[in-house]
Structure 1
Amino acid sequence: MVFLKAVCRRIDTLNTWVGRGVSWGTFIVVLVVFSDVVMRYAFNISYVFVQELEWHLFAFIFLMGAGSTLLKDGHVRVDIIYQRLSPGAQAWVNLIGVLFFLIPGCCLIIATSGKFVYSAWRVMEGSPDPGGIPYRYLLKACIPAGFILVLLQGISLGIKSFITIIGNEPDDADAKGER
């Protein structure tokens, strides 16, 4: 049990750090969008590079921040029934969801994105638009990386749910994702 809790702590710590890094990405995207709006409306100037940078930053934030969001229990779900369940029943719902939906879905996306990312890296894919970002392959690499982080966090959630089901509560900080 100690080993499983240690695994959860390490996964949670990884996604906490990644989430903190991604939060800086949100700050950067606000600055980029603000400057784009000012340039467009005040000076009637628009750059393809800046517009693509906004899209790339948004994609980076959502892909790389998804594991941290799962850690903080921030994903959208229908809580009408779930919130009324006992902690044990919630743990069963989480464990079944992780085993039958989250893990297979993440594995499918990781596996199918491999060729996609490889071909983008092989040709050093960039924007097809003149003046666009030349490093699109870096963004495409975030697809499997982001889903690996979600997969890891799902494993952590599954372990915590299993620990709850067998009656050995995870640490409070572990259960809430505060590490």
Structure 2
Amino acid sequence: MLNLLKIFCGAIDSTNEAVGRIVSWVSLLLVLVVFVDVVMRYLFKTSFVFTQELEWHLFAFIFLIGAGYTLLHDGHVRVDIIYQRLSIKGRAWVNLIGVILFLIPGCWLVIATSWKFVGNSFSMLEGSPDPGGIPYRFIVKGTMTVGYALLLLQGLSMGLHALLQVLGVETGEEENA
């Protein structure tokens, strides 16, 4: 049973690791799009709605789809005045309780409430209301549900790792290896 949990966690961690690599390339694309937009605005005194919308679509993709990867690498903002002074087992307890009380319900709330919103957008192939805007707005709206699902999965992995640490099956050193 413990091996099955470790395999499950490993699959989630690997998935978010792969997603993180994709997001890193999208980040480079965002930098290039912003650069082109700035050059067009300041050198040629013109701007395109499509380019401006593409910037926030890419940013939304990076932020939403990359949240699970960020959690995997403990990159979310944490006020750790107390946390950093705890033992590995103490940190595991904080992580386990945090996942159960906050992360899982929060992610579930966003997924449950966004599902219909995203479905409606996909069913009508929603596009930009602005002339010259991106015709595929439904795709960026879909990243909301997918991103929170990836975050929820990574939270489950984090919670299971914490549980294994509380039970003494994992030492906490596996994360740093």
TM-score band, normalised by the shorter chain? over 0.9
Give the corresponding residue for 1:103: 104
Give the corresponding residue for 1:112: 113
Letter in 1 for 2:76: H
Unpaired segments ≥5 residues, structure 1: none
Q: Name the TM-score, length of structure 2 as normaliser.
A: 0.97
CA distance in structure 1 between the aligned counterparts of 2:122 and 2:4, rounded to whole angstroms: 37
Letter in 2 for 1:65: G
Give the corresponding residue for 2:158: 157
Give the corresponding residue for 1:32: 33
| 8 Å CA contact retained: 1:64, 1:149 | yes
- 1:79 is paired with a residue whose SS is coil
| 8 Å CA contact retained: 1:160, 1:170 | no
**Structure 1 residue 123, shift from structure 2 partner:** 1.0
Deviates more, 1:108-117 or 1:162-171: 162-171
**Structure 1 residue 73, shift from structure 2 partner:** 0.3
Give the corresponding residue for 1:2: 3
CA deviations over 1:22-50 (Å, ceiling 9, x no partner) = 10000000000000000100010100000
CA distance in structure 2 between the aligned counterparts of 1:122 and 1:160, rounded to whole angstroms: 38
CA distance in structure 2 between the aligned counterparts of 1:3 and 1:167, rounded to whole angstroms: 17
Unpaired segments ≥5 residues, structure 2: none
CA distance in structure 2 between the aligned counterparts of 1:170 and 1:61, rounded to whole angstroms: 32
CA distance in structure 1 between the aligned counterparts of 2:144 and 2:36, rounded to whole angstroms: 27
Q: Does 1:11 align with 2:12?
A: yes
Q: Name the TM-score, length of structure 1 as normaliser.
A: 0.96
Number of equivalences: 176
Letter in 1 for 2:35: F
Percent of paired sites with the same residue:
60
CA deviations over 1:100-154 (Å, ceiling 9, x no partner) = 1100111111010011001101111111111000000000010010000000000
| 8 Å CA contact retained: 1:70, 1:153 | yes
